[in-house]
Structure 1
Amino acid sequence: MGMSDRTSVSFFSLLFRMAALFLKRLTLQTIKMENTCIRRRLGKYVLQKTGLAEPSHVASAPRPSCLIHAEAFSTEDTQDKREKKKKNETAFRNVGRKINERIIQVLDEKGNDLGPMHRANVIRLMAEQDLRLVLRDPGAQPPRYQLMTGTQIYQERLRLRGMERAEPKPGPTLTKELTFSSNIGQHDLDTKSKQIQQWIEKKYKVQITIRKGKTTEEPEDKMEELCNQILQTMPAIATFSSRPQPIRGGKAVMCVLRPLSQKEENACRSALGTQRGDALNRGNGNDGASDALHQ
C-alpha cells in the first residue's frame, strides 16, 4: 500500500470518529430536551389533577388579611347596632306587643292608674281600644307603662324635643384675668368693677390679681378688702370660686369670681327680697308709731 493510500485511510477514519462523536452528542442533547419537556408536561398534569381534586370552597377561600378585616368590620357593625338599640330603648317610643315583664303597672290614656295587669290582658286591651303602649318608668316595681293614642305619642315626642332644645348645652368655662395695684383710685376701681360685672353676666370666670402698692402705710388687709368690695358691687350674680389668698410671697392677693348657678341665684334673690320686705315693714311701723305720738 502506498503512502497516499495510508493517508486517505487515516483521514476517513478520523472523519468517521468525528461524525460518530457528533451524532453521540446530538443524541444526548435530544434525550435531555425530551426529558425536560416530559417533566414540564408531567408537572402541569399533576397540578391540574391536584387543583381538580381540591374542594371548590378551599380554592376560593380569601386571604387571612381579608378574614381579619371582615371580622373587625362585623364587630364594629355589631357594636353600632347595640348602641342604636340601647338608645332606642331609652327613647320615648311605642313598645308594641314586646312586653318583657309578665306583670306591669298600667296607666290609661288619661293618666289614671289601672293597677298591676298581666301582659296578656294589656295586649287584649290595646287591641280592643286601638291604643299603643309606652314605657314610663322602667325602675318601678313593677315597671310602669301607659296606654296612649298615636296622636298623644306624637305630641309627647314634640314636647320632649322642645325641652331638649331649650336646655342650655354645657360648654367650656372661659376665664378672664385682671391685674391692678392696691393704690388704685375709686373711679378706676368702679370702672374695673363694671368690666368684671359684664364678664360675669356673660358667664365668664374672672381671676383678679391685686398687687401691693408702694405706700408703706397701707393696711395689711387692704388687698383682700378690695376683693370683697368688688364682689359687693354685684350681689345676686357672682360669688367667690377661690377666696382671696396671698401670692408672690405676700406681695399680691389673688381671687377668682364666678357667676352664680340658677339655684344660688334664686336663693339669693329670695333672701334679698325678704330683707327688703323686713326693712319696708320696719319703716311702716316707725311711721305708725310717729303718727301715734303726733296724735
Structure 2
Amino acid sequence: MAAVFLKTVTLQTIKTEQNCLRRCLGEHMVQKVALAQLPLVASAPTLSERIHAKAFSTVGDTQDERKKRKKNETDFSNIGRKISERIIHLFDEKGNDLGNLHRADVIRLMDERDLRLVQRKPSTGPPEYQLMTGTQIHEERLRLREREKARPKTGPALTKELTFSSNIGQHDLDTKSKQIQQWIEKNYKVQVTIKKAKNVEEPENKMEELFNQILQTMPGIATFSSRPQPVKGGKAVTCVFRHLSKKEETAYRETQEIREGNPMSKEKGKDRESDILHQ
C-alpha cells in the first residue's frame, strides 16, 4: 500500500514539473516570435518627429536660395559667364546696341574683348545686358552709391536735445551753436533748453536773446519750429530749431538777392528775411 502511494506521488511530481517546463518554454517562444516581428512593423511618426523632420527639410532652404539668387540678379555686378537666358539683348561697353544675341556669342565677345557682363533690365523681354570694363563697373557703383546717399530720407525728423545755463560764456555758446548747426544740416530737429542762472541778476529777455543769437549763426539754414516758451515754472525757456524747407530756402535766397541788388529794397528784404526766420 505504501509503495503504491509513493509511486503515485512520484508520477504526480513528474507531471507537474513537465507542465511547468512546457509553460516556461511556451512563454519564451512567444516573446521570441514577438521580438522577431517588431522590426517588420513601422510605427507612424509622431507630431514632434514630423516637426523635427520638417526643420531639416531642404524645401525652405531651396526657396531662400532662389529668393537670394533673384535679388542678386538685380544687383549691379558682374555675372560672369553664367547667363541663364538663351537669347539676350546686348549693349557694348560704349553703349552701342548690338541687338539680340545668343549667349554663346555673348561669351565669345566677352573673351575676345576681355569685358564683364552686367544685367541692366532683367524684366524686359529679352532681358538687357551690357558689356563693361572693370573700371566702368566700379565707377557706376560709386555713382549709384552717391545717388543713394543724396536721396532724401523719408519719415519724421528725429530730435536732438541740448540744455545749458543762461550764464554760458561766449566761447561755449559758439561751440554749442556749431553743434546745433551740424544736427540741423543732418535734418534733425534740435530742442534747446536754457536754464535760468541761480543767484545772478539778468535781464528778463536774456534767454530769448540767446535763442536769437543761436539762430543768427545759421542764416538760410534753420528757423524756429516752435517759439521760445517758459517751462518748469519760468525757471527755464525751451524752443525747437528745424531746417528750412525748400520753399523757405528759395525765399531766403531771393531776399538776399534783393538786398544785394537793389538798395531801395533793403528794408523790404530785411522784413521778409525776418518773417522767414521767425515764422
Name the amino acid aligned to 2:170. D
Structure-2 separation of matches of 1:146 and 1:225: 62
Name the amino acid aligned to 1:178. T
| Shift in CA distance, 110/192, structure 1 to aligned 2, threshold 3 Å | same
| Shift in CA distance, 31/163, structure 1 to aligned 2, threshold 3 Å | farther
Structure-2 separation of matches of 1:157 and 1:70: 44
Q: Which residue of 2 aligns with 1:90?
A: 74
Q: Is the 8 A contact 1:178 1:208 kept in 2?
A: yes
| Shift in CA distance, 211/197, structure 1 to aligned 2, threshold 3 Å | closer
**Pairing of 1:149-188 with structure 2 (within 5 A):** 149=132, 152=133, 154-160=134-140, 162=142, 175-180=160-165, 184-185=166-167, 188=168
User: Which has the higher Rg, Structure 1 or Structure 2?
Assistant: 1
Gaps of 5+ in 2: 264-279
Matched, 1:253 2:253: no
Say which SS state the counterpart of residue 99 (structure 1) adopts: coil
Deviation at residue 71 of structure 1 after TM alignment: 1.6
Structure-1 separation of matches of 2:66 and 2:109: 33
Q: Which residue of 2 aligns with 1:38?
A: 26
Q: Which residue of 2 aligns with 1:4?
A: none
Deviation at residue 191 of structure 1 after TM alignment: 3.7
Q: Which residue of 2 aligns with 1:69?
A: 52
Structure-1 separation of matches of 2:203 and 2:212: 21
Structure-2 separation of matches of 1:160 and 1:69: 47
Q: CA RMSD in A?
A: 4.9
Deviation at residue 35 of structure 1 after TM alignment: 1.0
Q: Which residue of 1 aligns with 2:266?
A: none
Give the one of 251, 256, 266 matched to 1:275: 256
Deviation at residue 224 of structure 1 after TM alignment: 4.6
**Pairing of 1:106-121 with structure 2 (within 5 A):** 106-113=90-97, 117=99, 119=100, 121=101
TM-score by length of 2: 0.58
Q: Is the 8 A contact 1:205 1:257 kept in 2?
A: yes
Q: Which residue of 2 aligns with 1:288?
A: none
Q: How big is each residue's C-alpha offset from its partner over 1:53-88, in whole Å with a ceiling of 9 and x where there is no partner?
A: x38xx58x9876454223223354234313421331
Matched, 1:190 2:170: yes
Name the amino acid aligned to 2:15. T
Deviation at residue 227 of structure 1 after TM alignment: 2.2
Deviation at residue 178 of structure 1 after TM alignment: 0.6
Give the one of 216, 228, 241 matched to 2:212: 228
Structure-1 separation of matches of 2:181 and 2:215: 13
| Shift in CA distance, 146/277, structure 1 to aligned 2, threshold 3 Å | farther
Structure-1 separation of matches of 2:224 and 2:70: 41
Say which SS state the counterpart of residue 234 (structure 1) adopts: coil
| Shift in CA distance, 199/79, structure 1 to aligned 2, threshold 3 Å | farther
Structure-2 separation of matches of 1:18 and 1:164: 114
Say which SS state the counterpart of residue 91 (structure 1) adopts: coil
Q: Which residue of 2 aligns with 1:218?
A: 204
Structure-2 separation of matches of 1:162 and 1:175: 31
Segment drifting more, 35-44 vs 224-233 = 224-233
Gaps of 5+ in 1: 1-11, 284-295
Structure-1 separation of matches of 2:238 and 2:207: 9
| Shift in CA distance, 79/96, structure 1 to aligned 2, threshold 3 Å | closer
Q: Is the 8 A contact 1:178 1:206 kept in 2?
A: no
Give the one of 19, 24, 27 matched to 2:12: 24
TM-score by length of 1: 0.56
| Shift in CA distance, 127/144, structure 1 to aligned 2, threshold 3 Å | closer
Structure-2 separation of matches of 1:147 and 1:193: 56
Say which SS state the counterpart of residue 32 (structure 1) adopts: helix
Name the amino acid aligned to 2:130. L
Name the amino acid aligned to 1:194. D
Q: Which residue of 2 aligns with 1:208?
A: 192
